[in-house]
A and B are shown apart, each in its own frame.
Chain A
Amino acid sequence: MINFATVYNVFIRDFHKQKKRITLTLLALGWGTISIMLLLGFGEGLHTQLSINQKGMGDEISILWGGQTTIPFKGLGKGRHIHLFKEDPAYLKKRIPELRYIAGEYHRWGAAVKYGDKILSEHINGIAPEFEMMRAHIPMMGGRMINELDMQLKRRVAFLGDGFKERLFGDEDPIGKQIFINGMPFMVIGVMQEKMQMSSYSGSDEDKVSIPATTFQTVFGDRYLDNIVYQPWDVDNMKSVERQVYEAMGVRYKFDPNDERALQIWDTAEGAREFNNMLTGINIFLGFIGSLTLLIAGVGVANIMYVSIKERTREIGIKMAVGARRSYILFQFLIEALLITFFGGLGGMSISYILTEAFKRIPIESEVLDFMGRPTISLEIGLIVVSILGIMGIISGLFPAMKAASVNPVESLRHE
């Protein structure tokens, strides 16, 4: 009964008759679609980029420092300093099966690092092989990270941050070269892959020189660990692991496990979780703004349909006189509205796609892009926009179409 070719022909005829109005409506629709797609795509890019940046320091890890007691415990006064010792990570790992990785860390700022004639004052970091997984210390091709054997044998090997390598070696390949740290010779075994790190607790990893924690302890003679880094198997257990750390350490160093200040723990995943919520908020906000733009376009579609129906009441009357059911008239106008929405939406989506692809190909490296990311259009965004457009097309077409279907044929045919 509904002949799509006829409806399409009528649409084309209408297009010629009201070129200007339809073109404007198509533009509004296209613009609405572009803005919602780019806003959502921008949100998506931001999300991706921030997760990358977040992973720079490490994903789903907690950092543990010593502290000072504030509650008297078993006859011991308050104000005692709690220090971390190199045996603590193994102790905690044994007690808390939920822990996937745990390792201690030393820091020394301002050590002299020398290669050839060049001397730089640097941050020396005593770390463990677990840092490759926990803290994204990924070696570049041709080199390696500190391993278990380096730890056992307390080897004098060094893993360089990529930024530091650049400053000390320039373009030279550092692997296998000898450097001197406070006069002691170390062999360079690897350079860290470049990464984006937005948060830190001890400076940027790219500027550090890392050596095995065991070597660090022998060479510098530190009594205490500066901090411990750990990661649970399941990030959802972060809080319960934290509890268990307080309890186990409380037993070991005799403090009240409820004494929050006895240890300091930074749950980085908590930040990430909050961050994700914030990002979702931003995305909803951006989507909302985009939808508003699209809504205005929808009003435009409804308006053009109303005008078109007013001009075509006679046509509607004629069709009814020769046997059109009201449902046919309804569908005819609904389909016309959907066709306009379809073409406008399709145009807008294509342009958005081209724009984001172009954006991806912009070769410039900029801090803004590093922070914001580049807008990306995912299948998800496409589906969201298509459904919004579909719903909008139906709504903005339905009311005018209902009006069209309620035209009184006698009235519409009576006047010349």
Chain B
Amino acid sequence: MIDLCKVTKTYITGTVEFKALKDIDLQIDRGEFVAIVGPSGSGKSTLMNLLGCLDVPTSGEYRLEGHSVNKLTSNQLADIRNTKIGFVFQAFNLLPYATSYENIEVPLLFAKVSAKKRRDRILELLALVGLADKLNNKPTELSGGEMQRVAIARALANDPDIILADEPTGNLDSKSGTAIIEMFHQMWKSGKTIILITHDMKLADQTQRIIRLKDGAIDGNGNLA
């Protein structure tokens, strides 16, 4: 489903060019649970942004479900992010002024879901992540683990095929972290493709496959669990 062919990403700061990704070849199948590991600055987040269609490669080709992402318009990319991909960030990235309910509603609004269906879906998702009683809480009124669960509910809102998580447990204590990872396993079991970026080798070992990045290139590719 995901197919990267000789993908590079070059950042230009002033006159300095920096190759954050170098000739990445990578295939990920539907329903896989993949971990991406590597030292800080190795290009993990850069890769995730490309996979999530938040950014486009400098060169090489990214095919998503057989379609070349390079050729899509900004609106088409927005629609893909809206319906096919769910993001979970280390820093949660919830709208600070909005309640849990409203945060989960945002992708549904962009997908033009009717008010009634939005409501049903949000309540269903809140129940799924165990926050049915926190629907009117704003992010400041939630714990880190709870915030990440709202973010997961938001990522699942439009029932996307792919979940991209960039160090989702990085800001959590081990207990809430374990609960979050448990949720990713459940999502995987329900058929989603999960790509998890992490520093924690214990978490990576629980996935099907570990992709190691080093200096913007793939170091090792394998160990099917």
Contacts and interface: CB of A to CB of B under 8 A. Distances in A.
A322 B85 CA distance: 8
Given A1-B112, A326-B74, A410-B49, A320 B93 contact: no
B36 to A, nearest CB: 17
A323 B97 contact: no
A322 B89 contact: no
Given A410-B55, A413-B89, A322 B74 contact: no
B93 A413 contact: yes
Interface stretch (B57-65, B75-83, B180-188, B210-218): B75-83
Nearest to B154: A322
Contacts of B74: 325-326
Contacts of A3: 109
Contacts of A321: 52, 54, 81, 87, 93
- The SS class assigned to the A binding surface is helix
Nearest to A2: B109
A416 B91 contact: yes
Nearest to B171: A416
A399 interface: no
B168 interface: no
Nearest to A416: B91
Contact of B45 (A318, A320, A322, A414): A414
A323 B78 contact: yes
Interface in A317-331: 317-328
B82 A323 contact: yes
Which has the most chain A C-beta neighbours within 10 Å: B83, B96, B109, B154? B109
A409 interface: yes
Interface string B195-213: 0000000000000000000
Interface in B131-173: 154, 157-158
B26 interface: no
A320 B89 CA distance: 14
Contacts of B157: 322
A333 B78 CA distance: 18
B72 interface: no
Question: Most A CB atoms within 10 A — which of B74, B87, B110?
Answer: B110
B127 interface: no
Contacts of A10: 97
Interface centre among B78, B82, B83, B154 (most CB of A within 10 A): B78
A236 interface: no
B43 interface: no
Contact of B54 (A17, A314, A315, A410): A410
B91 to A, nearest CB: 6
A6 interface: yes
28 contacts: A1-B110, A6-B109, A13-B97, A315-B96, A317-B93, A318-B93, A318-B94, A318-B106, A319-B95, A320-B54, A322-B87, A322-B107, A322-B154, A322-B157, A323-B78, A323-B81, A323-B83, A323-B107, A323-B110, A323-B111, A325-B78, A325-B110, A326-B74, A410-B49, A410-B54, A413-B93, A414-B45, A416-B91
Given A318-B93, A319-B106, 18 more contacts: A1-B109, A1-B112, A315-B96, A321-B87, A322-B81, A322-B82, A322-B87, A322-B106, A322-B154, A323-B79, A323-B111, A323-B158, A324-B82, A324-B110, A325-B74, A325-B79, A413-B54, A416-B91
Instruction: Give me the 10 closest cross-chain CB pairs, A-B, nearest first.
Output: A323-B82, A13-B97, A323-B110, A322-B107, A325-B78, A323-B81, A410-B55, A318-B93, A325-B75, A410-B49
Interface of B: 45, 49, 52, 54-55, 74-75, 78-79, 81-83, 87, 89, 91, 93-97, 102, 106-107, 109-112, 154, 157-158
